Amino acid sequence: MAPMAQQAPSTHPVAFLAHRAAMALAAAAVLGGAAAPAAYAVDGADAAPAAGSTGKLPEGLYGTKDPQYDGVWRQSLALLAQHTVGVRPATSAVRWLVGQQCADGAFTAFRAEPGKPCDAKTMRDTNQTAAAVQALAALGGHDETVQKAVHWLKSVQNDDGGWSSMAGSPSDANSTSVVIGALAAAGAKPESVTSKKGGRTPYDGLLTFRLGCDVKEGERGAFTFQLKGAAANADATAAAATGALGKGFVVAPAGGAADTPVKPLSCKDGKSGDRSPAAAAEGGAGYLVAQLDKNGHHLLSAMPGQGKQPDVGNTADAVVALAAGGHRSAAQQPLKWLAKNASAWARQNGPAAYAQLVLAAHATGTDPRSFGGTDLVTALNATGPEPAGTTPGKDARAADAAEDSDGGVNVWWVVGVGLAVGAGIGFLLSGRRKKNDL
């Protein structure tokens, strides 16, 4: 789930940053060769501290590494995950996020000088803006900030109904999905938000990236990142399968024993009948399950200069997508894989990575305080300012949901850590990989 850092998150946190990788490089090229390495340095162990007037990170910011490409993204995910499990974030952390907004309502990845007005050169980012909307809407008390951000998002909607990370660029599945989540979180019905030209909705835009019966069987039901060079993309599919249901980063766990079987896209007589967003989400879930099963209950991605390897961030996004569709049983094996293999990745990549895992645990009714032997909530809290407190009973409700869940992860299951993390890439790229065809 990483943002596309302006261009430099899935899912995004690396999550919706899938597309961010390429954009980050493009941005770096514009800003100067020296900036290029930062595109991959998101809370990674070797990332350099942010350079400001004092050389220190701002008060209230989560993470210890350069926030140039993911500051707002990781802050938003951290605050949202804390709120979801009943932790009240520090006032300084919320204040920092609110202070990053431009006067027109947009957010960029990081403003070292918040008091300096945004200008034409400020790289406004729909993903960072949408992430901030989801966090601040959940926290409450920031209606003006949220509505200004939503107004800006509406103002940069493309004619096809979708969004790109950077206004004016072609739409992509990941950006469109995260904006849908923001609109829903802010109380705006996504289906009522239409483009000025053509009257297309966000769902119209999102479904243009769906692969149907005219592609080879193994890719049917998947989503592509963009139409140009269209190919099945697991990252885009995980984001779209959630967005098509009108949901954002936070998916409420289903209570009781209800479970919806996954049904791959049906192509009778070479045609897929139902073209609704719900059917698209179902087809996307079918593709994700096939990929997860083929790879040993996790997704794969290929980082620059390396072969394919387990992608923790996208796997977490896939778990959320399956939970969003009510596919509880299908989410269990990848969830167990995360519990066994994700802690090292989260330690290296910081707040947004921990947040992704917390949200995956929450969506499945699993206790994030005992996730494969790791207390994800405590670990997340430790990456930023001390929280203001907790909301009584919220974690207890999550634990109760976990006990009621058929096939849920045993929260006392102690496992070893076994993930090899690609050096120098960082969390931003591990979650939302736009260009990697999976």
| pLDDT tens digits along 341-363 | 999 999 999 999 999 999 999 99
141-194: per-residue pLDDT in tens?
999 999 999 999 999 999 999 999 999 999 999 999 999 999 999 999 999 999
pLDDT bucket at 223, cuts 50 / 70 / 90: very high
Mean pLDDT, residues 381-399: 76
pLDDT at 421 over 80: no
pLDDT at 412 over 60: no
Q: Which pLDDT score is estimated for 301? A: 85
Q: Which pLDDT score is estimated for 219? A: 94
Taking the model in full, what pTM does it have? 0.82
Higher pLDDT, 276 or 398: 276
Mean pLDDT, residues 207-228: 93
Q: Which pLDDT score is estimated for 228? A: 86
pLDDT bucket at 111, cuts 50 / 70 / 90: very high
Q: Which pLDDT score is estimated for 98? A: 98
Least confident among 11-20, 217-226, 318-327: 11-20
Sorted by sequence, the CB contacts under 8 Å of residue 307 that are 6+ apart come out as none
38-81: per-residue pLDDT in tens?
222 233 333 334 444 456 889 999 999 999 999 999 999 999 99
Q: Which of 14-18, 91-95, 252-256, 304-308 has the highest mean pLDDT?
A: 91-95
State what percent of residues in the chain have pLDDT above 70: 74
Higher pLDDT, 438 or 236: 236
- The mean of the pLDDT values for the chain is 81
Q: Which pLDDT score is estimated for 138? A: 98
